[in-house]
């Protein structure tokens, strides 16, 4: 997350109105955001169902967080509770020889919108693709193990 989003998420605007309690929420604004996030996650969850089987979703004081795990990475999506924000980060789960830290980077962020979700989703897919090594064959080749069966 960037510092400005964190600052905005903590700032209640100086008013006396109580801040919403997303952890004990009984409906409304953040529940609708969680519902929308779950719908978006179904786009990348195998067979488009059982989000809870592939994703850990948790509330904390400032964000709704969703964690996705792949063989090599942890992707964390964050929805701010008090501002219109959706962002994501990725961390490598495996350290390279000699490293005592985990590599990571920010993924796209922006407003809580389909456009931001698509940019995040595309970044996740792009990060997960692996380079094909070896001789390039005709895609219609019958020797390709991916295309036979």
Segments forming the whole domain that contains residue 65: 3-128
Residue 104 resides in a domain: yes
Q: Are 86 and 77 spatial neighbours (Cβ–Cβ below 8 Å)? A: yes
Residue 116 resides in a domain: yes
d(CA 81, CA 22): 7
Residue 147 resides in a domain: no
d(CA 59, CA 89): 17
Domain count, the chain: 1
Question: What is the per-residue pLDDT across 109-119, written as a single tens digit (0 to 9) for each?
Answer: 999 999 999 99
Question: What is the per-residue pLDDT across 53-109, written as a single tens digit (0 to 9) for each?
Answer: 888 889 888 899 999 999 999 999 999 988 899 999 999 988 778 877 778 899 999
**What are residue 104's DSSP bridge partners?**
91
114 token code pair: 């389909």
Residue 149 resides in a domain: no
The angle that helices 29-41 and 114-128 make with each other, rounded to 10 degrees, is: 40
At residue 135, φ and ψ (nearest 5 deg) are -65, 135
Q: What is the pTM of this model?
A: 0.68
Residue 133 resides in a domain: no
- Range ranked top by mean pLDDT from 25-34, 109-118, 136-145: 109-118
137 token code pair: 């064959």
Helix (H) or strand (E) holding 116: helix 114-128
pLDDT-derived band at 122 (thresholds 50, 70, 90) equals: very high
């Amino acid at each position: 997350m960037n510092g400005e989003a964190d600052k905005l998420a903590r700032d209640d605007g100086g008013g006396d109105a109580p801040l919403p309690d997303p952890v004990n929420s009984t409906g409304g604004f953040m529940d609708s955001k969680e519902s929308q996030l779950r719908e978006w996650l179904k786009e990348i969850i195998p067979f488009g169902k059982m989000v809870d089987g592939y994703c850990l979703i948790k509330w904390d004081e400032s964000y709704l967080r969703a964690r996705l795990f792949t063989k090599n990475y942890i992707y964390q999506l964050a929805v701010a509770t008090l501002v219109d924000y959706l962002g994501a980060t990725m961390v490598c789960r495996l350290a390279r020889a000699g490293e005592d830290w985990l590599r990571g980077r920010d993924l796209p962020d922006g407003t809580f919108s389909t456009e931001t979700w698509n940019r995040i989703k595309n970044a996740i897919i792009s990060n997960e693709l692996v380079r094909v090594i070896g001789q390039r064959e005709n895609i219609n080749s019958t020797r390709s193990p991916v295309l036979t069966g």
